[in-house]
Amino acid sequence: MTNDSPEEETRAPGSGGGGVGGGKGMTRRNRADDNVTMLTSSMDLHRAGRSRASSSSTDPAPSITSSLELSIQTRIFKIIVIGDSNVGKTCLTFRFTGGSFPDKTEATIGVDFREKAVVIQGETIKVQVWDTAGQERFRKSMVEHYYRNVHAVVFVYDVTKMASFRNLQTWIEECNGHRVSASVPRVLVGNKCDLVDQIQVPSNTALKFADSHNMLLFETSAKDPKESQNVDSIFMALACRLKAQKSLLYRDVEREDGRVRLTQQTETKSNCPC
């Protein structure tokens, strides 16, 4: 939980079309493609930044150099997770980046950053997940940062709370109000499907909504370990889509204070069959 944000000099993808997958429909138990490999477990950017900064005084120079060389080749995709408080945004991002369900969560203040390196068709990509605060009082000063240079958006509702589903329209309007391009992929996630006896949002209602906004729908549970691959699929579908549509290579530059600065470096094109 932090109020800091990594400084960025990226720009949102300006080309490529439509929502994720380009197709509509519910994707439940969608499996990550075989071409995709998760490389690392979760890493809090700030904690990682601090440890890199502090270790730089003791580590031998060659390892710093090779780490920088490695990072120069790595593209970073910023994905923000948006939705009402308590829908499970933190738990979903934790499940994806850390592979587990947190024992205890507190309301997110500002934003939490988590990052995971994945390999898609031989290319290592850092998926940077911004877990945003659902409570208005904890997000006020951060909203601009959430949407700045975002590459994809995950809208989350709680399948056991109809109000959280109804509020999606407000979240979409906020997103649109921050000039997020229509070409930025968006997906819809209904979380807490493990609470089968309490479901208030029927799948077909959610599917209609997703279709009308050109989004894929994922119904899943951050809590149920059997759903973990489905949670991974949410972010991997976006990463695959971004890899296919993005024509920019970003350089990850470490600054002296350990914060991350991203700069556009050169152009590449790739085709992802995911």
Q: What residues make contact with ligand GTP under the rule CB under 6 A?
A: 85-91, 105, 107-108, 133-135, 191-192, 194-195, 221-223
Which two structure tokens, joined as six digits, stand for 58?
């003791």
Q: Rounded CA gap, 103 and 125, in Å?
A: 28
Least separation in angstroms between residue 100's CB and ligand GTP is 12
Nearest CB to ligand GTP, comparing residues 16 and 98: 98
In whole angstroms, the minimum distance from the beta carbon of 219 to ligand GTP comes to: 11
Q: How far, rounded to the nearest angstrom, does the alpha carbon of residue 170 sit from its chain's CA centroid? A: 20
Residue 142 CB, nearest approach to ligand GTP (Å): 12
Beta carbon of residue 134, minimum distance to ligand GTP (angstroms, whole number): 3
Distance CA 204, CA 25 (A): 10
Distance CA 40, CA 155 (A): 24
Number of helices (H), then strands (E), belonging to the chain: the values are 8, 11
CA–CA distances in Å: residue 212 to residues 23, 24, 169: 12, 9, 11
Q: Quick one: 111 or 240, whose CB is closer to ligand GTP?
A: 111
Phi-psi region of 106 (alpha: psi -120 to 50; beta: other; left: phi over 0): beta
Query: Residue 157 or 209: which CB sits closer to ligand GTP?
Result: 157
In terms of CB distance, is 27 or 221 closer to ligand GTP? 221
Between 125 and 133, CB nearer to ligand GTP? 133
Q: Are strands 260-267 and 248-254 parallel, antiparallel or unpaired?
A: antiparallel
Least CB distance to ligand GTP at residue 235 (A): 15
Structural contact between residues 262 and 10, judged by C-beta atoms closer than 8 angstroms: yes
Tell the smallest beta-carbon distance from residue 50 to ligand GTP (Å): 22
Q: How far is Cα of residue 58 from the mean position of the Cα atoms in its chain?
A: 33
For the chain, the farthest-separated pair of C-alpha atoms sits apart, in whole angstroms, at 57
Least spacing, CB of residue 257 vs ligand GTP, in Å: 27
Q: What is the DSSP letter of 35?
A: T
Which amino acid is located at 101 in the chain? Answer: F
The smaller minimum CB distance to ligand GTP, of residues 171 and 250, is found at: 171
Of 76 and 87, the one with the shorter C-beta distance to ligand GTP is 87
**Residue whose CB is nearest to ligand GTP in the complex, by number:** 134
DSSP, residue by residue, 124-154:
EEEEEEEEE--SGGGTGGGHHHHHTT--EEE
